[in-house]
Amino acid sequence: MIANALRIAAVTLTFGIAAASAQTTEPARPLLKSSVTVNSSLVRIGDLIENAGIVADVAIFRAPDLGTTGTVPVSTVIEAVRPHALIGFDTGGASEITVTRASREIPMAEIERTLAAAVSSRFNAGPAADITVVFDREPRAIQVDPSSRGDVAIARLSWDARNGRFDAALEIPTGATQHAVLRLSGRAFATVETVTVVNSIDRGTVLKASDLVVERRPRADVARDAIVGIERAAGLAARNVIRPGQALRAADLTRPEIVQRGQMVTLVFEAPGLTLTLRGKATESGAEGDTVAVLNEQSKRTVQGVVAGPGHVVVSTTAPRFAANLPATARTGR
Identify the CA nearest to 247 among candidates 282, 294, 214, 289: 214
Domain presence at residue 1:
no
Which string of b and e fits 83-121 if b means at least 16 CB within 10 Å? eeebeebebeeeeebebebebbebeeeebbbbbbebbbe
Of 41-50, 159-168, 216-225, the poorest mean pLDDT is in 216-225
Angle (nearest 5°) at CA 149 between 61 and 104 = 50
Query: What is the strand order of the sheet 69-73 is part of?
Result: 35-38, 96-101, 69-73
Domain presence at residue 171:
yes
Q: Quick check: 43 and 102 in contact, CB under 8 A?
A: no
Q: Phi and psi of 179, rounded to 5°?
A: -135, 155
Q: What is the dihedral of CA 282, 286, 288, 290, to 10 degrees?
A: -100
Give the whole-number percent of the chain exceeding pLDDT 90: 46
Range of the domain at 55: 31-102
Domain presence at residue 331:
no
User: How many domains are contained in the chain?
Assistant: 4
Q: Place 87 in a pLDDT band, splitting at 50, 70 and 90.
A: confident
Which helix (H) or strand (E) segment holds residue 120: the answer is helix 108-123
Domain presence at residue 197:
yes
The answer to whether residue 66 scores a pLDDT higher than 60 is yes
Domain presence at residue 291:
yes
Q: What is the pLDDT of residue 76?
A: 94
Domain presence at residue 209:
yes
The answer to whether residue 5 scores a pLDDT higher than 70 is no
Of 86-100, 236-250, 316-330, the poorest mean pLDDT is in 316-330
Domain presence at residue 18:
no
Q: Place 26 in a pLDDT band, splitting at 50, 70 and 90.
A: low
- Whichever domain contains 266, its CATH number is 2.30.30.760
Do 113 and 177 lie in one domain? The reply is: yes
- Write the DSSP string, 53-64: GGGTT-EEEEPP
pTM, two decimal places: 0.58
- Whichever domain contains 91, its CATH number is 2.60.480.10
Do 226 and 250 lie in one domain? The reply is: yes
- Whichever domain contains 213, its CATH number is 3.90.1210.10
Do 199 and 244 lie in one domain? The reply is: yes
Domain presence at residue 26:
no
Do 61 and 131 lie in one domain? The reply is: no
Q: What is the pLDDT of residue 325?
A: 47
Mean pLDDT across the stretch 66-70? 93
Residue 135 CB-density burial (10 A; 0-12 exposed, 13-18 middle, 19+ buried): middle
pLDDT averaged over every residue in the chain: 84
Q: What digits encode the pLDDT tens for the residues 260-312?
A: 888 898 888 888 878 888 899 998 888 888 888 999 888 888 999 998 888 88
- Write the DSSP string, 59-95: EEEEPPPTT-EEEEEHHHHHHHHGGGT--S-B-TT-S
- Of 159, 191, 223, the position where a domain reaches its end is 191
Q: What is the pLDDT of residue 64?
A: 95
Stronger pLDDT, 272 or 197, i.e. the higher one: 197
Q: What is the pLDDT of residue 329?
A: 44
Q: What is the pLDDT of residue 11?
A: 39
Do 228 and 270 lie in one domain? The reply is: no
The answer to whether residue 126 scores a pLDDT higher than 80 is yes
Q: What is the pLDDT of residue 114?
A: 95
Do 41 and 85 lie in one domain? The reply is: yes
Do 198 and 235 lie in one domain? The reply is: yes
Q: What is the pLDDT of residue 327?
A: 47
Do 142 and 209 lie in one domain? The reply is: no
Report the C-alpha gap between 39 and 34 in whole angstroms.
17
Q: What digits encode the pLDDT tens for the residues 27-59?
A: 688 999 999 999 999 999 999 999 988 999 999
Query: Which SS3 state, helix, strand or coil, does residue 172 take?
Result: strand
Dihedral sign computed on CA atoms, order 116, 122, 123, 124: positive
